[in-house]
Structure 1
Amino acid sequence: MSHISPEKIPQQAFDWYDDYAHGDIDRRTFLSRLGSLSLAGLTLGAVTSALTPNYALAGQVSFNDKDITATYQEFESTNGHGKGRGYLVVPSNLDDKAPAVLVVHENRGLNPYVRDVARRLAKQGFIAFAPDALFSMGGYPGNDDDGRAMQRSMDREKIDQDFIAAASYLKRHTSSTGKLGVVGFCFGGYVSNMLAASAPELINAAVPFYGTPAKGDLVTHVRAPMMLQFAENDKRVNATWSDYEVALKANNVDYSAYFYPNTQHGFHNDSTSRYDPKAAELAWSRTVEFFKQYLV
């Protein structure tokens, strides 16, 4: 996998990409700001390409791996968009039942990276289900810019309800033991926190990657064990942690929080130069062991 080394890209570029990815600035402003930087011999196009996902570079488990079976499944979402759909991956050698993990994408729909995360979990013996928040609009459109615009146009409360419905569907799945975990990235990190707070009866363990907490007093409802993964260079998300930690302590929640040195928001996503292989591997191994501890 070939990426520009993150050390060659100025921190400001990562920060501006984060602003762009979360809708705080538009693409023209993002590119204009990049053009103002001294890029140490790198072209503007090379840096832009390095910061934005290239899913051809990613993928750790093939969709036709013999150890897993992947299908798309629909579920009812009465309080959301009526129906939802997600990518269900089960271990091929499943004789009886297995614990399940809901996998929640970033703010741009169910892209190839998140489907690959679901396959990785199935390889570890879990039933994994990755819903697509964009299903009611036709699904992930094949590129992140359009996916981001689509998701931003949707009713956020209905999206939250779709993920609550997805969690309920997965917990009741005929092959599930009834133990349910959730892992999510960026927006999906927020959804992981939201589910732990909004549906504590459903969630047995949660691992938000660089996600903001549930809103308002909802945080007082968190009960499930939590493992929170943070990037060191992620001011927007990290600014929410101190108050969130106070709430978790007040709730007597069993939690652990990890900050990975010199990493960027999105460091687990192996399709961009924000990817940090060592930190991603460590965070992922911790995640899998956490789920094995609390779900198996």
Structure 2
Amino acid sequence: MMQTYTEDHVRADGRAIRLTFAEPERVVRGGLVVLHEADGVDDKVRLLVSGLAGEGWLAVAPHIQPSDRGLTGQDILAATDTTLAWLVDRAVRADLIGVMGFDVGGTAALVVAASRKLGAAVSVGGQGISKPLSDELPALVDIAGNLVSPWLGLYGDEGDEAAEAEVERLREAASAAKVATNVVRYPGANHRFDADPAASAEAWQRTLDWFDGYLR
């Protein structure tokens, strides 16, 4: 049965942060922070949150509001920290909390995984590998070696040699981290995998397996 989602608001740094979340019908296995794409928390993100709840996770997506300078690392970490506290307030153990994101959210998930010790992290796509996504964010190859949370990166290269080389650079950088990392490239798939059902299904299963393996 598809899970339904609901809304909450919390205050942090003098401002309200909106949260969209979904709860499992039975036992909560842990908590997952879902970082959204550039379009914000839309129907695709709500579907993802509901799908994760269907797998037993209390899944919550903060509505991240970029600063006047565009999306910054501080914006990402502030929203994530507030959401992590929200999960802990709901009796989710810290070692059973992970983070994941798609596209821009995938970039954000790696930023979080290099700055916060969580149980696990997953990036599905993500820009800014060699060249920063914005002046306020680092290039991912510059921080991947500093990962402090076990991290899985899932990337489609759309059959482009330059995109393939970018993902391989990220794989090499992440291999220097002192935590478990894995980078999986899907030749010919786009960053959302929606044009390749087989890749999409395989990436979804890898995501679930990663969280199953580290959040326990």
The TM-score range, normalised by the shorter chain, is 0.7 to 0.9
SS in 2 for 1:156: coil
Deviations 1:174-233 (A, max 9, x none): 24132211111100000110100122x3x2111101114572554443122111101021
Deviations 1:59-96 (A, max 9, x none): xx7xxx4xx45321122332xx72211111111223xx
Q: Which amino acid aligns with 2:199?
A: A
SS in 2 for 1:263: coil
Aligned position for 2:134:
none
Match 1:133 to one of 64, 82, 92 = 64
Aligned position for 1:156:
71
Matched, 1:215 2:150: no
Match 2:8 to one of 56, 59, 73 = 73
Paired residues of 1:77 and 1:165 also in contact (CA < 8 A): no
Match 1:253 to one of 173, 179, 183 = 179
- Structure 1: distance between partners of 2:12 and 2:164: 32
Aligned position for 2:31:
100
Aligned position for 1:225:
150
TM-score (norm 2): 0.81
SS in 2 for 1:208: strand
Alignment: residue pair count: 203
Aligned position for 1:184:
101
TM-score (norm 1): 0.61
Which consecutive unaligned segments of at least 5 residues does structure 2 have? 130-136
- Structure 2: distance between partners of 1:192 and 1:186: 10
Which consecutive unaligned segments of at least 5 residues does structure 1 have? 1-60, 135-150, 269-274
Paired residues of 1:76 and 1:165 also in contact (CA < 8 A): no
Paired residues of 1:69 and 1:92 also in contact (CA < 8 A): no
Q: Which amino acid aligns with 1:198?
A: S
Q: Which amino acid aligns with 1:87?
A: T
Aligned position for 1:29:
none
SS in 1 for 2:189: strand
- Structure 1: distance between partners of 2:159 and 2:191: 5
Paired residues of 1:99 and 1:180 also in contact (CA < 8 A): yes
- Structure 2: distance between partners of 1:77 and 1:241: 35
SS in 2 for 1:250: coil
SS in 2 for 1:91: coil
Paired residues of 2:62 and 2:79 also in contact (CA < 8 A): yes
Match 1:197 to one of 91, 114, 117 = 114
